[in-house]
C-alpha cells in the first residue's frame, strides 16, 4: 500500500512539473487590506470607508505565453462612515463587500520570478449588515437595500516559485469605483449616501498553484 501511495505521489508531482512547463493555468488565494481610500462627499454628506481586511481568490488562463485572462472573486467587511453636514449627525453603515472581476493579465517573464500587470473591470456588491440597519432604525429610517457599483481595476505584482507548483504572490491593486449610493426615507426626510468616485489602494500577499 505504501509503495502504491509513493508511486502515486511521484506520478502527481511529475505530471505537475510537466504541466508547469506550459504554465498556462494559475489558481491563487490572497489576503488583502486597503491602505487608502479617497474620501467622498456631496452637498449634504461627507464620508469615507473603514479599512477592514479581506481575501481574493482568482484563476488565470494564459492563452498566449505571457498574456491571459483572470477571473476573480473578493470579499471584505468594510463600511461607510458618513457625517451629515447640516445636522452634524454621523452614521456608521457596516456592510459586506463582494467583488467580481475580469482582468487582462500580462507577465513579463515565465521563469521562477514573474512580474506582471493587469487591468480590467468588474462590479462590487455592497450588502448592509444588521448593524447598519440597526443604526438607521435608531435614527428613524427604513432599511436599506443592497447596492451594486461598477469598478475599473489596475494592478502590478510579482510571482515567485517556492517549491514545485507552489508559488508566492505579492500584489498592489488599485480600484476606481463609485461609493454605494444607499437610499432610504423616514418621516422627516430622505437619506441619500453620496455615490461619488472613490479610489482604493489595496496590497495583498498570497499563494498560488501553477499548472
Task: Indicate yes or no: pTM above 0.75.
Answer: yes
Close Cβ partners of 159 (under 8 Å, ≥ 6 residues apart): 26, 107, 113, 114, 115, 116, 167, 168, 169, 208, 210
**CA pair distance 44, 140, nearest whole angstrom:** 18
Length of the chain: 211
> How far are the Cα atoms of 3, 4, 12, 165, 211 from residue 7, in angstroms, in the given order?
6, 5, 9, 18, 20
CATH code, domain carrying 142: 2.40.160.20
In a domain, 4, yes or no: no
In a domain, 139, yes or no: yes
The number of folded domains in the chain is 1
**CA pair distance 167, 115, nearest whole angstrom:** 13
DSSP 5-34: HHHHHHHHHHHHHHHHHH--EEEEEEEE--
Nine-digit cell string for 150: 461598477
**Residue 18, pLDDT score:** 47
Low-confidence stretches of the chain (pLDDT beneath 70)? 1-23, 36-48, 50-51, 83-89, 139-140, 184-195
**Structural domain containing residue 44:** 23-210
In a domain, 12, yes or no: no
- pLDDT (tens digit per residue) in 192-210: 666 677 888 899 999 999 8
In a domain, 186, yes or no: yes
Could you tell me which residues are beta bridge partners of residue 122? 101, 151
In a domain, 179, yes or no: yes
Amino acid at each position: 500500500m505504501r509503495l502504491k501511495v509513493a508511486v502515486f505521489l511521484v506520478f502527481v508531482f511529475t505530471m505537475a512539473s510537466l504541466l508547469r512547463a506550459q504554465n498556462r493555468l494559475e489558481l491563487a488565494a490572497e489576503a488583502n487590506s486597503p491602505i487608502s481610500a479617497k474620501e467622498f462627499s456631496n452637498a449634504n454628506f461627507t464620508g469615507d470607508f473603514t479599512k477592514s481586511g479581506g481575501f481574493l481568490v482568482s484563476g488565470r488562463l494564459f492563452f498566449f505565453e505571457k498574456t491571459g485572462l483572470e477571473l476573480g472573486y473578493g470579499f471584505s467587511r468594510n463600511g461607510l462612515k458618513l457625517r451629515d453636514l447640516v445636522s452634524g449627525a454621523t452614521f456608521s453603515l457596516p456592510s459586506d463587500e463582494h467583488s467580481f472581476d475580469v482582468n487582462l493579465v500580462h507577465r513579463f517573464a515565465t521563469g521562477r520570478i514573474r512580474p506582471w500587470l493587469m487591468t480590467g473591470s468588474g462590479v462590487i456588491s455592497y450588502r448592509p449588515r444588521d448593524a447598519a440597519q440597526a443604526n438607521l432604525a435608531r435614527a428613524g429610517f427604513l432599511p436599506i437595500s443592497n447596492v451594486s457599483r461598477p469598478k475599473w481595476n489596475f494592478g502590478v505584482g510579482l510571482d515567485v516559485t517556492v517549491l514545485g507548483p507552489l508559488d508566492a504572490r505579492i500584489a498592489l491593486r488599485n480600484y476606481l469605483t463609485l461609493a454605494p449610493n444607499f437610499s432610504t426615507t423616514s418621516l422627516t426626510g430622505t437619506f441619500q449616501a453620496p455615490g461619488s468616485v472613490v479610489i482604493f489602494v489595496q496590497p495583498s500577499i498570497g499563494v498560488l498553484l501553477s499548472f
